[in-house]
């Protein structure tokens, strides 16, 4: 049986950020601190990374609940980071051990890259020896050393490079990708105006994730990444692709260069090398933009807030439950679920990729990055090489594309990818205007390769979309349109209404021979209420709009001692409300899945009054639009206003259709592109097999798949129009731990669980500052 460490008083946890900063580190710090405090532990910030551990003194400070208030939306790390040369030496690590143990810290949450995490594991391995040396030197009491015989570590990967094996995404990567795509979109507009070539260098060190995914999401013509270097003669090949695109109507040509790019001989490829190749082969003087550290800066995205909060809570739990036999782990995510991998194994696997590249095993390097990376390399190559055919290939089919349901940012991206890949495969791609009502009226036109130029990052839906689901008597018009246009297959992109429409078509297949064709449905809905798919196309874009709106509302509330009741979209699915509330630090979220009761509201009013009485300057409640029929946003605001008296006032805000607008985020562009590629592949598979199955895209922890429509009703709650199993509900508990502080029935300034910790120390919990140590 493992031996649980027993130390006098509460467990003490240190949290530090080390190496390069990454947006999302602050939400991770906040989550570690608050969830540990709520469990009765004490938490200390180690300022300036390992340098603070070496320095000790004022660089190791106790943190309380309010000390991490107001940091969710801030970029960088409020506790500082540095690269510490002293810590690389044993003397430096001995000093770090002394300073940590003097503060009673023997558990560390380390947020950083592979170098920082390797340093943490080295300190862990040497810990006992270092303490023995300190005791022998007379610098540490034997009793103290015996009280802290082991160091326990939980690693959180903070790096914009996304270069750590064992997690889908590292903290900061999504935000960095946003910064890149914002720049690429801006550059693309000026490039198109002048028919000019731009070369953009992105960060990433020896990992090509940012380069590859920004190339796909930004619709680049060519990309250079370390894991998949170009073949010999790349200069001419690149120029041929650019010329071919120009001949087909492309006005902008963007080339992405990852900072660690090399050719197959191992020679670095710089932006100037690419520019010279364009000058020599095309006679064009391309413009170079090096994005630099702008990629590290700015407020973290919704994903980098809620994901960082999840892993921060998991790290605190890992440390609180650690034993002497616990293997140090890296806390990561896989398909939006928490995973744990042994730290040593993760670092070793990460560094092995560099060895593969240096050994010229590029295929192995791509595989080692994971299935998602490999698949995106294949998709980019297919899109870059896609032939803008004038005549259709032998044996090509006629594929219709239609939207259905509410608008979702990323719909245009999916059509762009499907059209380009379909034409390249020799098919005729047909656009159906105006959803299923347009389908019934025969509003069909053929796509040319250049017709979807510029759709990659375009918001809205150029084909148009409607929520109407055809009735049984209206299916004849759809069958007639299929026959008149000789359609061989259908690609449907949309939300729950799209699934219902296709389900109806399947039920009526015997009546309409034209329905005997393969149909693939791809999930696109800001409600994120579709079966067996974690993040539908459009959900991330809507989530970021809602979060950014909540950030602004909180600023207004804090200036006025005000409570806001903010209503998000989502219908009967609370995804947008719950996750945007978590990302923005909302105190209360009301969901359809949970409902609203009088007893809930009584407790909420009590907590709200207590919060403002104790000096709180704002309170944010987020309501899913269908949370309860009678308890509307206006009703809640009036109730809170009446009960608030002179303490605070209340305003209701309905965010509305702004959540459907704007250009799609990089995540939604990447998901849409990958789904479109999977859809065309599924249709090609069915063409080859001679089948005509109706399927919808699904995902599991292992892979993506196409699921027959006969399973649809088993996976959804038809009355509530949402999946029976919703993965994001696990974030309810995360939000409870990091956002929902209990104010009533506690001494002033005491967080949940902290009162017990104070009593255990024999202290009296006192009033803390209304603003945290790190608040601006």
Catalytic annotation, residues: 161
Helix H or strand E encompassing 619: strand 618-624
Contact status, residue 68 vs residue 34, Cβ threshold 8 Å: yes
The answer to whether the beta carbons of residues 308 and 31 sit under 8 Å apart is yes
Q: Is 400 helix (H, G, I), strand (E, B) or coil?
A: strand
User: In angstroms, rounded to a whole number, what is the distance separating the alpha carbons of residues 247 and 728?
Assistant: 46
Whose CA is closest to 708, among 723, 697, 719? 697
Distances (CA, A) of 341 to 4, 156, 371: 21, 11, 17
Q: Which residue has the tokens 């009296």?
A: 764
Distance CA 221, CA 255 (A): 6
Return the closest-CA partner of residue 157 out of 312, 2, 356: 312
Q: Is the distance from CB of 50 to CB of 87 less than 8 angstroms?
A: yes
DSSP 675-729: HHHHHHHHHHHHHHHT---EEEEEE-SS-EEEEEGGGHHHHEETTTTEESS-GGG
Q: Quote the crossing angle between the two packed helices 209-217 and 371-385, to the nearest 10°.
A: 40
**Separation of alpha carbons 431 and 399, rounded Å:** 9
Please give the Cα distance from 773 to 776 (Å, whole number).
9
Q: What is the DSSP secondary-structure string of 384-413?
A: HH----SSPPTT--EEEEEEESS--TTHHH
Contact (CB, 8 A) for 216 and 673: yes
Tokens 């009502």 found at: 437
Q: Where are the beta strands (DSSP E) in 469-561?
A: 489-494, 519-523
Cα separation, 320 vs 107, in Å, equals 8
CA distance 693 to 506: 9
For residue 470, give Cα distances in angstroms to 226, 409, 503, 530, 759: 50, 24, 11, 19, 65
CA angle 744, 747, 750 (to 5 degrees): 85
Strand 287-290 to 197-202 pairing: parallel
CA distance 457 to 666: 8
Q: Is 670 helix (H, G, I), strand (E, B) or coil?
A: helix
- 390 burial via Cβ count (<10 Å: 0-12, 13-18, 19+): exposed
Q: Which two tokens stand for residue 630?
A: 């009678």
Q: What are phi and psi of 453, to 5 degrees?
A: -60, 130
Using DSSP bridges, classify how beta strands 253-258 and 428-432 pair: parallel, antiparallel or unpaired. Answer: unpaired
Q: At 148, is the secondary structure helix, strand, or coil?
A: coil
How far is 681 from 687, CA to CA, in rounded Å? 10
User: In terms of Cα–Cα distance, which of 216, 233, 162, 226 is closest to 378?
Assistant: 216
Give, in order, the Cα–Cα distances in Å from 525 to each of 25, 46, 167, 457, 535.
29, 42, 26, 17, 9
Tell me which residue of 468, 424, 469 sits closest to 447, measured CA to CA.
424
How many residues are recorded in the chain?
A: 776
CA 190 to chain centre: 29
Residue of 436, 438, 576, 573 lying closest to 500 (CA atoms): 436
CB 255, CB 221: distance < 8 Å: yes
């Amino acid at each position: 049986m493992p031996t649980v460490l027993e130390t006098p008083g509460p467990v003490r946890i240190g949290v530090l950020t080390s190496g390069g900063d990454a947006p999302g580190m602050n939400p991770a710090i906040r989550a570690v601190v608050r969830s540990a405090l709520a469990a009765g532990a004490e938490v200390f910030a180690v300022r300036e990374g390992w340098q603070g551990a070496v320095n000790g003194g004022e660089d190791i400070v106790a943190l309380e609940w309010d000390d991490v208030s107001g940091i969710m939306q801030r970029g960088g790390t409020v506790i500082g980071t540095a690269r510490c040369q002293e810590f690389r030496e044993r003397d430096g690590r001995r000093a770090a051990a002394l300073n940590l143990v003097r503060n009673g810290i023997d558990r560390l949450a380390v947020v950083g890259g592979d170098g920082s995490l390797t340093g943490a594991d080295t300190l862990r391995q040497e810990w006992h020896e270092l303490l023995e040396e300190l005791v022998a030197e007379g610098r540490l009491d034997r009793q103290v050393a015996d009280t802290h015989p082991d160091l326990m570590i939980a690693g959180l990967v903070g790096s914009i490079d996304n270069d750590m094996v064992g997690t889908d995404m590292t903290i900061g990567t999504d935000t960095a990708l946003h910064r890149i795509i914002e720049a690429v979109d801006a550059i693309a507009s000026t490039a198109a105006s002048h028919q000019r070539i731009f070369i953009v260098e992105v960060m990433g060190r020896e990992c090509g994730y940012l380069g590859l995914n920004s190339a796909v999401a930004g619709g680049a013509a060519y990309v250079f990444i370390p894991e998949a270097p170009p073949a010999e003669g790349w200069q001419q090949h690149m120029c041929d692709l650019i010329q071919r695109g120009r001949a087909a109507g492309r006005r902008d040509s963007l080339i992405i260069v990852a900072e660690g790019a090399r050719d197959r001989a191992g020679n670095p490829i710089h932006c100037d090398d690419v520019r010279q190749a364009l000058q020599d082969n095309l006679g064009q003087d391309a413009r170079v933009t090096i994005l630099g550290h702008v990629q590290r800066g700015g407020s973290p995205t919704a994903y980098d807030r809620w994901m960082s909060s999840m892993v921060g809570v998991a790290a605190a739990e890992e440390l609180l439950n650690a034993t002497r036999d616990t293997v140090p782990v890296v806390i990561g995510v896989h398909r939006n679920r928490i995973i744990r991998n042994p730290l040593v194994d993760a670092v070793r696997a990460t560094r092995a990729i560099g060895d593969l590249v240096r050994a010229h095993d590029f295929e192995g390097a791509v595989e080692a990055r994971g299935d998602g990376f490999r698949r995106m390399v294949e998709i980019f190559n297919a899109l870059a090489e896609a032939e803008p055919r004038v005549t259709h290939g032998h044996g090509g089919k006629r594929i219709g594309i239609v939207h259905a349901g509410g608008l979702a940012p990323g719909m245009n991206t999916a059509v762009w990818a499907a059209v380009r890949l379909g034409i390249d495969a020799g098919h005729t791609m047909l656009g159906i205007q105006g959803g299923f009502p347009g389908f019934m009226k025969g509003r069909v036109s053929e796509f040319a390769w250049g017709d979807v130029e510029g759709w990659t990052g375009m918001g809205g839906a150029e084909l148009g979309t409607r929520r109407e689901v055809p009735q049984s008597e209206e299916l004849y018009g759809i069958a007639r349109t299929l026959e008149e246009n000789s359609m061989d297959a259908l690609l449907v992109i949309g939300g729950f209404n799209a699934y219902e429409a296709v389900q109806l078509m399947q039920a009526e297949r015997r009546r309409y021979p034209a329905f005997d064709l393969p149909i693939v449905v791809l999930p696109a809905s800001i409600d994120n209420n579709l079966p067996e798919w974690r993040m539908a196309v459009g959900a991330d874009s809507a989530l970021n709009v809602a979060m950014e709106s909540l950030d602004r509302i909180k600023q207004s509330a804090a200036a006025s001692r005000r409570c806001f009741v903010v209503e998000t979209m989502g219908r009967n699915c609370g995804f947008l409300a719950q996750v945007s509330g978590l990302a923005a630090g909302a105190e209360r979220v009301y969901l359809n899945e949970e409902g609203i009761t009088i007893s809930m509201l009584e407790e909420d009013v009590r907590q709200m009054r207590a919060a403002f009485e104790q000096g709180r300057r704002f309170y944010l409640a987020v309501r899913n639009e269908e949370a309860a029929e009678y308890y509307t946003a206006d009703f809640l605001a009036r109730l809170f206003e009446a009960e608030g008296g002179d303490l605070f006032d209340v305003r209701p805000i309905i965010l509305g259709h702004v959540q459907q607008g704007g250009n799609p985020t990089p995540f939604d562009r990447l998901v849409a592109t990958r789904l479109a590629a999977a859809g065309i592949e599924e249709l090609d598979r069915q063409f080859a097999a001679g089948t005509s199955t109706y399927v919808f895209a699904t995902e599991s922890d292992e892979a993506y798949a196409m699921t027959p429509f006969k399973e649809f009703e088993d996976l959804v709650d038809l009355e509530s129009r949402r999946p029976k199993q919703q993965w994001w509900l696990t974030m309810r508990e995360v939000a409870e731990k990091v956002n929902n502080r209990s104010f009533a029935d506690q001494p002033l300034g005491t967080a949940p669980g902290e009162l017990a910790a104070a009593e255990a120390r024999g202290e009296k919990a006192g009033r803390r500052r209304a603003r945290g140590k790190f608040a601006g």
